Structure 1
């Protein structure tokens, strides 16, 4: 690699994405994170001067214009707005920074943009939101694409789907190819048997044979809830099937002669959880803070091997490696597109149903309009005898000084993780 590629990362967490991008060949010039404990971990692993703590949308924390033209703008923006387990408020959630980040990319023109989030963002509920993001990036001269990646396909022994957006400038985009996922999954037992045996526990070998699958999703949790455990009831049952007590996190691995008469097996330590998140081998990192804080930092992170793979694919595109790949334009929401492209303002329900395809009837259209109305202002024509719609403003925070996000953020800041 002959050229140096600099990265700015926002909502950097404890550094899973930062480490993966570093291994791919990027050098961070800035990492912005709200959580104090995560920032302490970042400073233990990155040059302290490049780590900034605070609200990423606060110009007193950093000024995006100072980083115009950077090679990569990356981030793991908060996932609760799109989480399947949450209320899926999307653009109405004070934690939603996805749209804001896209607007910053359109303004400062990084060579590439990399954003990751939870699988929930890939669901039909957010089709219009995704289409808006793609359209804005297209207007700014980027070729953008969404992809659902399974962390288990990159050596991470865990069920952890991540929905990833990559946008590149047109001259680079034709050389971009998504990294291929391996079908050879690493089991929990294979990944952490040595750690389980580190305290002298004689049962580690037999335990590892029973822990013969990937684990459920590691859940970092939030500041709203208590101490560290391995997730909701369903996840706890899945861990129990692997011989893991998911009711908490241990301070140390099991010792000689230790038994577990009232539990399915031993608890995991933070080191074991980190290994299951992908921190192993070449991915070495120091986590700081108390046990619960370290667990949350690890559990909320983007697995480094996945970030490494995507980062490598981006650099390969920069350096023109491989064959050209003609990009396929995926339409996420034809109803949204028809509303957005209507030159006459209002558009009839019949025209929208036609745009939506043969499967769309009046009730389907009404449902789709209701979903769009969660993220956009959708108006009906009060003067028409037939149902006609017009697309109004995007409700998400994109930097507006009068947006409700500012008040909500200040009110809930202590609970945001």
Structure 2
């Protein structure tokens, strides 16, 4: 282990105990009050009589005990707060020492990810000694709260100077009083400037009128979109019946009225801005004109990124699809306006849907796709694949056999030109895990199979809105801390916020004790919307229940006894390495876990046990695939050894779907009930009637001002 790694390793336990100093203070003070009160009560009871046995004034004794208790708690409270200030500065000194030996980005990543300290506080610790170091003794003596220290760092110099003067004078400074002080100091600096309140009042009145217009316009757009989707679902382009002609004429008239209202309300340059952006008002306007001219359908092939995949044969015109094929919230009367720069975020599921109604609005480029476990899950969550990259011929054949319409790219990731994928919403990948696996040599970045550096280059080129990389739990061990920090700091230098966590398969209903380390990164303004998936209330799937039909497919008489014995989740499947020649399910140390389930882990059978089979059965390839949550009709190409490797190395679709929905929530703001989603099939027919118009109120409101 390097000297820097050793320095981090020795510091972790101490740092983790200091990353919530203010909370610890409150807890300790409450505990001290309770303890001191109990001691005072006991002391009062002991002093009810004088040493010679004569009674004393019980009220006086209780008063003295109370005073002593108050003094003890006061002194203890001040001591704890002073100690907290000293510890905060001590931790800041340690961080400064790290910064002299490691890049500052890695130090920030260490404080935030390993010590679980929010990034704003992490940066504050690096600045604490520099900005407030000369006042260290005074701040410690004043027993100021640690959060107030951090707030002081963020204040303008005039506010900070006044606050420090107050503390030197003996005042107590809270966060609320600091906010009030800031307002007063800044108000003093604003004295004499012109009063702009009349202008702001007029702006509010204009915005209110614009919002009323927009709400009515969006209601009409939503109605037009629904009517158009219904026409598409219920007719074909060749239909020339009187009823269909009348429906088309009605749509054309409504579209013409909406287009005229738009043209009258907004300047002409609004409709020419960002002509290639599917979310511009120019697209909406041109779409309305197309409908008004009855140009509803168009035959064309689709390819990334020119067209959308949902309309592949006899399709809507792509301008109309992009403009009206998105989601718009239902408007029920007046609603509170959303502040500028704020995107709506649901906190509760709105329906029993298994994915957002605007499914496939968001695109993903997938790296190291393997047999498709991650791709299946992301598709089920509602992502559209712009590209699926894999270099193993057997895995590529598996993907093409099962989903010939998917954009499979057989290529070496190190030489692939990814510039064509600029603008995708998500980059996802299951990078080779062998460099960090407990079953391997754990060489990390020194392993030739490690692809993190190449992935960072791809992220820099493509600039996705979000990133999701899965790997084995071994990458979170302390031996790889510097590698994790280098990845986190590299992502930060590219402008991404990132976190690394571990998710547990059985918690989400997986029938296998599979835990995966997940790295999620997002562009600024999105990470605060991301929430690591919370396990729904669902029991893990026992192996016997999960595999009963497959194990009994040939009439095995011992099936019921085996199901009763296999009443737990399976151990983690291993064997994904290309260097592994056999098809055994476990290392020697973990074979006992399989045998307790009544399974022989030393081989993979070609078929289920026969009627008179005795002993512990082997699992078959379909059984292994189901343990990994693959659909039963998913076919695997190649030799049996390569099929085994593809299955064992997969990211289970169930876990991929869980992560995909979590990322979609951050991107779209739509909450999906995870329990309902996990009960839905992995593949379903797309219902075009669910698609609604895109809400673009903010752009039009700004234009109306």
State the partner residue of 2:577.
Answer: 222
Instruction: Could you tell me which runs of 5 or more consecutive residues in structure 2 were left unpaired when the two chains were aligned.
Output: 1-356, 672-705
1:114 aligned onto 2:471:
no
Give runs of ≥4 in structure 1 deviating > 6 Å: none
Work out which of the two has the higher radius of gyration on C-alpha atoms and give 1 or 2: 2
State the partner residue of 1:287.
Answer: 636
Please report how far the alpha carbon of residue 143 of structure 1 lies from its aligned counterpart in structure 2 after TM superposition. 1.5
State the partner residue of 2:399.
Answer: 42
Q: How does 1:11-30 map to 2 (within 5 A)?
A: 11-30=368-387
Counterparts of 2:478 and 2:434, CA distance in 1: 16
Name whichever of 219-228 and 195-204 sits farther off.
Answer: 219-228
Greater share of helix: 2
Please report how far the alpha carbon of residue 48 of structure 1 lies from its aligned counterpart in structure 2 after TM superposition. 5.7
Partner of residue 6 from structure 1, selected from 363, 380, 392: 363
Q: Specify the SS of the correspondent of 2:525.
A: helix
1:284 and 1:131, CA in 2 relative to 1: closer, same or farther beyond 3 A? farther
State the partner residue of 2:257.
Answer: none
1:212 aligned onto 2:567:
yes
Please report how far the alpha carbon of residue 202 of structure 1 lies from its aligned counterpart in structure 2 after TM superposition. 1.6
1:242 aligned onto 2:591:
no
Q: Specify the SS of the correspondent of 2:511.
A: coil
Counterparts of 1:239 and 1:49, CA distance in 2: 36
Counterparts of 1:258 and 1:113, CA distance in 2: 48
Counterparts of 2:583 and 2:380, CA distance in 1: 29
Partner of residue 534 from structure 2, selected from 180, 185, 202: 180
State the partner residue of 1:360.
Answer: none
Counterparts of 2:605 and 2:628, CA distance in 1: 17
State the partner residue of 1:51.
Answer: 408
Q: Specify the SS of the correspondent of 1:171.
A: coil
Counterparts of 1:46 and 1:246, CA distance in 2: 31
Q: How does 1:182-197 map to 2 (within 5 A)?
A: 182=536, 184-197=539-552
1:270 aligned onto 2:621:
yes
TM-score using structure 1 length: 0.72
Q: Specify the SS of the correspondent of 1:317.
A: helix
Counterparts of 1:120 and 1:92, CA distance in 2: 15
Please report how far the alpha carbon of residue 85 of structure 1 lies from its aligned counterpart in structure 2 after TM superposition. 1.8
Please report how far the alpha carbon of residue 221 of structure 1 lies from its aligned counterpart in structure 2 after TM superposition. 3.7
State the partner residue of 1:88.
Answer: 442
1:224 and 1:130, CA in 2 relative to 1: closer, same or farther beyond 3 A? closer
Q: How does 1:363-374 map to 2 (within 5 A)?
A: none
Q: Specify the SS of the correspondent of 2:397.
A: helix
Please report how far the alpha carbon of residue 224 of structure 1 lies from its aligned counterpart in structure 2 after TM superposition. 2.5
Counterparts of 1:109 and 1:224, CA distance in 2: 34
Counterparts of 2:522 and 2:425, CA distance in 1: 10
Counterparts of 1:316 and 1:221, CA distance in 2: 31
TM-score using structure 2 length: 0.43
Partner of residue 655 from structure 2, selected from 306, 311, 314: 306
Please report how far the alpha carbon of residue 134 of structure 1 lies from its aligned counterpart in structure 2 after TM superposition. 1.5
Counterparts of 1:55 and 1:146, CA distance in 2: 26
State the partner residue of 1:128.
Answer: 482
Counterparts of 1:203 and 1:102, CA distance in 2: 52
Q: Is the 8 A contact 1:155 1:278 kept in 2?
A: no
Please report how far the alpha carbon of residue 296 of structure 1 lies from its aligned counterpart in structure 2 after TM superposition. 1.2
Q: Deviations over 1:332-380 (max 9, x none)?
A: xxxxxxxxxxxxxxxxxxxxxxxxxxxxxxxxxxxxxxxxxxxxxxxxx
Please report how far the alpha carbon of residue 49 of structure 1 lies from its aligned counterpart in structure 2 after TM superposition. 6.7
Q: Is the 8 A contact 1:172 1:320 kept in 2?
A: no
Q: Is the 8 A contact 2:367 2:430 kept in 1?
A: yes
Q: Is the 8 A contact 2:364 2:384 kept in 1?
A: yes
Name whichever of 137-146 and 192-201 sits farther off.
Answer: 137-146
1:49 and 1:309, CA in 2 relative to 1: closer, same or farther beyond 3 A? closer
Note the aligned Cα RMSD (angstroms). 1.8
1:211 and 1:49, CA in 2 relative to 1: closer, same or farther beyond 3 A? closer
Give the number of aligned pairs. 314
Q: Is the 8 A contact 2:544 2:566 kept in 1?
A: yes
Counterparts of 2:577 and 2:486, CA distance in 1: 29
Counterparts of 1:270 and 1:303, CA distance in 2: 15
Instruction: Could you tell me which runs of 5 or more consecutive residues in structure 1 were left unpaired when the two chains were aligned.
Output: 323-417
1:137 aligned onto 2:137:
no
Counterparts of 1:82 and 1:250, CA distance in 2: 29
Q: Deviations over 1:362-414 (max 9, x none)?
A: xxxxxxxxxxxxxxxxxxxxxxxxxxxxxxxxxxxxxxxxxxxxxxxxxxxxx
Please report how far the alpha carbon of residue 92 of structure 1 lies from its aligned counterpart in structure 2 after TM superposition. 0.9
Please report how far the alpha carbon of residue 225 of structure 1 lies from its aligned counterpart in structure 2 after TM superposition. 3.1
Q: Deviations over 1:117-175 (max 9, x none)?
A: 00110011111211221222222222111110111112111121100001111222221
Q: Specify the SS of the correspondent of 1:9.
A: strand
1:320 aligned onto 2:664:
no
Q: Specify the SS of the correspondent of 2:470.
A: strand
